[in-house]
Structure formats: structure tokens, C-alpha cells
Amino acid sequence: MLAGELGQAGVRTLLLERRAEPSEVAKAGGLAGQILELLHFRGELDRFCEAGGSKGPEAVPSLPFGGLQLDFSQIPDPPMQVLRLPQPQLEAALADRASERGSEIRRGHEVIGLQQQDGVVKVEVRGPQGRYEMATQFVVGCDGGRSRVRDLAGIPFRGTSLPEIERLASVTVPESVTLLDDGGLQVDGIGRIPFGYTATERGVFACSGLEGRLSVYTAEVEAREYDDAPMTIAELSASVNRVLGVDLPLGEPLRMTRFGYSAKQADTYRHGRIFLAGDAAHLFPAGGVAVNAGMLDAANLAWKLAGTIHGWAPPDLLDTYSDERRAAAERTLLHTRAQVALRRGYGPDGDALRALVLELTADEQPLRRLGALMAGTDAGAPKSQVHPLVGTFLTSRALSVQQGDPRFAGMLRTGRLVLLDLADRPDLRELAGRWGEHVDVIRATIDPPPADALLIRPDTHIAWAATSQTAVQTALRTLREALSTWLGTRPHQRTESPA
Ligand SMILES: Cc1cc2nc3c(=O)[nH]c(=O)nc-3n(C[C@H](O)[C@H](O)[C@H](O)COP(=O)(O)OP(=O)(O)OC[C@H]3O[C@@H](n4cnc5c(N)ncnc54)[C@H](O)[C@@H]3O)c2cc1C
């Protein structure tokens, strides 16, 4: 993702990947949350839909949250959209995107040493032909939860690891099991097993009989380390027995994974010329959020890195990456840690907690808030006096348009900042035009408009907004401040920008 973003901004990237071949392990099953909004506004959704063989993002009626199923079907425009796209296909699409934009991908090349010296980073690499060294302006460690780059840069990675093993499998349906219409199971000799989560003294069990396959999940406290040993049906069956106390018949494996959860975040995502992104920067103790967070890290970092390399970025622009994405990860840690407490609360107290949360989420506002947190769009309390949208992410909902409104697809295509003029404001357009080589001015009409105009960064962060109530001088002053903050104070020469 980062290499593709940088390529778009005219920066060539060398990608060093330890594995000789792409991993075929289907970890994440798709894209979800704000990254889908970003790809829509970039005009890039089609590539990812094709890669996953799906028509487009869908608003799923319910989503798991800490052992509960949150019912989003009552909200006409749910905040959490999902696109089916198994991780190997996602990685292949991202690799193509990066290569097309001029990046070189070297597989079988492992980073083993880093040293910052005289304005460069010296990188020591172990490749198929032996060790070699190179010097580069910047290094970004996108090397996963056990990041070597993070260790070599001496960046602490604090938090907690849960002593829990989760097992997740889809299997064919054996003859003795009947799938019920509500997703539950009827099992010969056992009886009815309900759809969704069942918490017992020994852990959590969940099953689903949707889409003609039997999906089973268990979570147990276990101190054992499994490393990369593949999971077997016998192991899953024993786990179900321990948690549920029954021998559940299981068919042939279709997909099986085992994983554990950590809640960790790097103290900083930047040490000099070395950066962290993705799992190297943060690990969350609940599913469905990590790929979104990692890809949004990349979108945030890329244009700032490119601006620094091209020489137009203000001096402290690169530091905003760590501050902004750490704050975003804190929001994700907030709800994923809360999910741990929700799903691990056993007995009547835990049941009461889950029942209460479920009751609260029957109301639209708290459900929306949780959905926005899961989507990575909730930035916490508004931080701007200028406009409530400032400091939030651009979504179709923020624009008050239909999800995926084609008029706005590709609005951020060039990867530059965009001044979206919704009220024919030549004064604002003229001002933004002074930074013309870095700002696209786009005019559109929305009825009613969410603002007179918005300044949107390439990572969909809304940097500035003004309404018709904003005094003209205030609007001009605050827009100038925002443009100077993100692009520097130098008034750039005006060039024609696409509308
Ligand atoms: C079972 C399972 C299910 C999951 N389900 C979901 C889900 O549904 N939704 C979701 O959002 N997330 C999910 N995740 C998490 C998701 O897979 C990760 O968040 C994602 O892979 C992180 O991407 P990344 O690029 O940051 O790191 P990784 O995918 O870990 O990639 C890091 C890469 O760096 C390479 N590398 C490591 N060290 C070096 C080195 N020294 N030199 C060179 N290369 C190196 C590795 O070989 C690897 O290819 C799941 C994870 C698991 C394990």
C-alpha cells in the first residue's frame, strides 16, 4: 500500500520481503471501514472489487463485537462497509499496484541491520546471493508484529498479550449436522446449538451454518506456543470439546487458522529516518480492524514522505504522521480492549455486561458511534473550533451524499490535497490556487451542502472547512493557515488544476 502511494506521488520505492513467495495464508477475509471510503474517493475501488470477485462494498447487517453480534440492519447507511477480499488476493492487488507505479519488489531479501548516519539509513540485507548493504533516505518498517525494523530502531512496543488461543475454521457439513435457517445447527445425538457466541467456564465457542458451510470458532486460555504449526481437525475438535463439552462432528477443512491477540502500540512511529506502519506499529486484540488501520497508516505517511523527498513539505510535517496515527490507534485500542473485557466476562456479571451493551446498541446513536470506531473513522471529541468536520475523515456520510455517490468517486485521484468548493466561492478558490501545484480545486453541488468548502488531504483527513455562516475574513485566514500547515507557507506558483 505504501509503495503504491509513494509511486503515485512520484517516489520510487524498494520493497524488501523476507519470504521468497507470497503467503497463501488467508488471514484477513476482506477490507472494511475507512479504507473503502479512501479507495472510493481515489477512484481505485474497482481494482480491489475485481481482485476479490465481488461487485463492491456491502453494508453487513450484523458484525461481531466482543462476543456480541451488533445489529446494524436498523441503520440505513451503516458506518461499517465490508468488501470480501481474502488477504492473499489483497496482497497480490497491492503488489501489482506498487509495481505499476515504479516500485521494485525483492522477494527473499531480509533486512538484518539498520544504521542511521549522515542523513541516510544504511540497510544490511540478507538475500539469495548473500549479504549486501545499501544506503537510502528513509526506511519504513512494514514488517509485521515482530518487526525487526522496530527492534533495530530501538522503538519500544508496549502493551499486553492475551494468553488466549483462538481457532477459526470453515468445514464441510457432515451428515449428522443440519444447518438451520437462523444460522444455528441441529446435531444428531447433541441437539440444537444456537448461532453466535456461547461463553462457558472454559472459553468461548461460536458457530455459524450460513452459506452452506459450517464455521466454528473457539477461544481458550492456553499458555502453549504453536508458532507456525498448521492447525488440524483433531486439534479443533479437542478444543470444541474442552469449551463446549460435546464432540461436535466436523467435515473436511475448507479454511483453518489459529491466532492469539495482543494489545500493543509502538511508543513512536518515527525514529529519525526510520518509520513504522501496520502491525509493526500496532496490534489490536479483536478482529476486522488491523488491515484498515495499516493501510490508513500508509495513506497518511506517503504524501508527507513524498513532500519531504520532493522538498516542499514544511519541516514538521513528517512528525504529524506518528502523532496522528498513534492517536487513531489509541481509538482502535480503546474499542478492541473493551471487546476483550466484554467477551472474557464469564458468569452472571459478564452476561449482564453483554446484555447491557446489547441494550444500549439498540439505540442508533451509540450503535453509530461503535460502528464508526470499528471503521476507524471516529477520531474522538471534535478538536476544531472552525467546523465539526475538521479533524475527521471524509466519508460519503460526512458529505451528506449516498454511499459511493459516483460524482465523488476519484475526487482524490491525483493524491494531492483537494479544495472542494460546494458554494461557488471564487475567493477560496483563488487562495487555494496559490498552492496550485499541490491542490486540486473541485467544484460540486450538494443539497444541502455540509459546508461551503472543505480542504481534504490525500488520506481523506478533513483539514479545513467553512460554512456560509463563517465570516469571509475568517474563512480566508483559516484556509490560509490550513494550507500553510500542510503545504508550507511559500506561495506556490499558480498552475491550472483539474476540476
Ligand atoms: C488468523 C488471522 C486472521 C486475521 N483476520 C483479520 C481480519 O479479518 N481483518 C483484519 O483487518 N486483519 C486480520 N488479521 C490481521 C492482518 O492479517 C494483519 O493486520 C496484516 O497482515 C498486517 O499487515 P502488515 O503488512 O502490517 O504485516 P504482515 O502482513 O505481517 O507483513 C509483514 C511482512 O514483512 C515481512 N518481514 C518480516 N520481517 C522482515 C525482515 N526483517 N525483512 C524483510 N521482510 C520482513 C514478512 O515476511 C511479511 O510478509 C488477521 C491475522 C491473523 C493471523
Q: Are residues 169 and 231 in contact, defined by beta-carbon separation less than 8 angstroms?
A: yes
- Ligand 1 centre to CA of 149 (Å) is 14
- Ligand 1 centre to CA of 262 (Å) is 13
CATH 3.50.50.60 residue ranges for the chain: 2-159+263-375
Q: In sequence order, which residues have a C-beta less than 8 Å from that of residue 460 and are 6 or more positions away?
A: 34, 37, 38, 41, 299, 393, 394, 395, 412
Give CA–CA dist 422/148, Å, rounded: 47
Highest-pLDDT range among 61-70, 190-199, 378-387, 411-420? 411-420
Residue of 5, 14, 18 with the most ligand 1 atoms within 8 Å of its CB, for mutation: 18
AA letter at 118:
D
* pLDDT, position 499: 36
Give CA–CA dist 269/75, Å, rounded: 36
- Ligand 1 centre to CA of 279 (Å) is 6
AA letter at 138:
F
Sign of the Cα torsion 451, 421, 391, 62 reads positive
Instruction: Tell me how far CA of residue 274 lies from CA of 282, 330, 483, in angstroms.
Output: 16, 21, 26
For residue 291, give the ligand 1 atom closest to its CA: 11
For residue 289, give the ligand 1 atom closest to its CA: 11
Query: Averaged over 22-36, what is the pLDDT?
Result: 88
Query: Averaged over 356-373, what is the pLDDT?
Result: 94
* pLDDT, position 198: 84
- Ligand 1 centre to CA of 478 (Å) is 40
Q: Which of 148, 91, 108 has its CA nearest to residue 17?
A: 108
**pLDDT per residue as tens digits for the range 449-470:** 999 999 999 999 999 999 888 8
- Ligand 1 centre to CA of 180 (Å) is 35
* pLDDT, position 450: 94
At residue 117, φ and ψ (nearest 5 deg) are -155, 130
For residue 149, give the ligand 1 atom closest to its CA: 41
At residue 214, φ and ψ (nearest 5 deg) are -105, 115
* pLDDT, position 493: 45
Closest residue CA from atom 21 of ligand 1:
291
Average pLDDT for the chain: 92
> Angle at CA 489, nearest 5°, toward 494 and 6?
75
Q: Which is higher by pLDDT, 489 or 429?
A: 429
The topology under which CATH files domain 381-499 is: Glutaredoxin (3.40.30)
Closest residue CA from atom 37 of ligand 1:
143
Query: 2-159+263-375 has which CATH code?
Result: 3.50.50.60
Q: Are residues 4 and 266 in contact, defined by beta-carbon separation less than 8 angstroms?
A: no
Q: Are residues 282 and 158 in contact, defined by beta-carbon separation less than 8 angstroms?
A: no
Q: Which regions of 142-228 does DSSP assign to beta strands (E)?
A: 157-161, 164-171, 177-179, 185-187, 191-193, 196-200, 203-208, 214-221
- Ligand 1 centre to CA of 380 (Å) is 27
Q: Which is higher by pLDDT, 275 or 388?
A: 275
- Ligand 1 centre to CA of 216 (Å) is 23
Closest residue CA from atom 14 of ligand 1:
28
CATH 3.40.30.120 residue ranges for the chain: 381-499
Locate 290 and state its grid cell: 488491523
Which of 27-31, 302-306, 395-399, 424-428 has the least mean pLDDT?
27-31
* pLDDT, position 145: 95
Closest residue CA from atom 28 of ligand 1:
144
Which residue bears the cell 466476562? 345
Closest residue CA from atom 29 of ligand 1:
144
For residue 277, give the ligand 1 atom closest to its CA: 26
Q: In sequence order, which residues have a C-beta less than 8 Å from that of residue 379 and are 6 or more positions away?
A: 327, 328, 331, 391, 392, 393
* pLDDT, position 382: 67
Q: Which of 283, 291, 286 has its CA nearest to residue 147?
A: 283
CATH 3.30.70.2450 residue ranges for the chain: 163-260
Alpha helix locations (H) across 205-252? Answer: 233-244
Q: pLDDT-derived band of residue 491, with 50, 70 and 90 as boundaries? A: low
Q: Which of 212, 166, 174, 192 has its CA nearest to residue 64?
A: 166
Q: pLDDT-derived band of residue 89, with 50, 70 and 90 as boundaries? A: very high
* pLDDT, position 494: 44
- Ligand 1 centre to CA of 345 (Å) is 29
Residue 226 has pLDDT above 80, yes or no: no
Q: Which of 66, 351, 337 has its CA nearest to residue 201?
A: 351
- Ligand 1 centre to CA of 320 (Å) is 24
- The DSSP 8-state label assigned to residue 80 in this structure reads -
Residue 194 has pLDDT above 50, yes or no: yes
Q: Are residues 212 and 179 in contact, defined by beta-carbon separation less than 8 angstroms?
A: yes
Q: Are residues 479 and 463 in contact, defined by beta-carbon separation less than 8 angstroms?
A: no
* Residues paired with 107 in a beta bridge: 17
- Ligand 1 centre to CA of 406 (Å) is 32
Taking residue 61's Cβ as centre, other Cβ atoms within 10 Å add up to 13
Closest residue CA from atom 1 of ligand 1:
27
* DSSP codes joined into one string, 98-154: HHHTT-EEEET-EEEEEEEETTEEEEEEEETTEEEEEEES-EEE---TT-HHHHHTT
At residue 359, φ and ψ (nearest 5 deg) are -65, -45
Find the residues whose C-beta lies inside 6 A of ligand 1.
Answer: 16-19, 27-29, 87, 110-111, 142-144, 148, 257, 259, 278-280, 287-292, 294
Options 3.30.70.2450, 3.20.20.70, 1.10.3720.10, 3.40.50.920; CATH for 163-260 is 3.30.70.2450
Task: Give the number of residues written for the chain.
Answer: 499
Q: Which of 12, 130, 32, 132 has its CA nearest to residue 81?
A: 32
Residue of 2, 60, 143 with the most ligand 1 atoms within 8 Å of its CB, for mutation: 143
* pLDDT, position 495: 43
* Residues paired with 126 in a beta bridge: 110, 131
**pLDDT per residue as tens digits for the range 308-348:** 999 999 999 999 999 999 999 999 999 999 999 998 887 88
* pLDDT, position 377: 92
Closest residue CA from atom 38 of ligand 1:
143
- Burial track 432-442 (b if 16+ CB lie within 10 A, e otherwise): bbebbebbbbb
Instruction: Tell me how far CA of residue 120 lies from CA of 16, 181, 303, 318, in angstroms.
Output: 17, 61, 20, 16
Sign of the Cα torsion 87, 91, 97, 100 reads negative
For residue 281, give the ligand 1 atom closest to its CA: 26
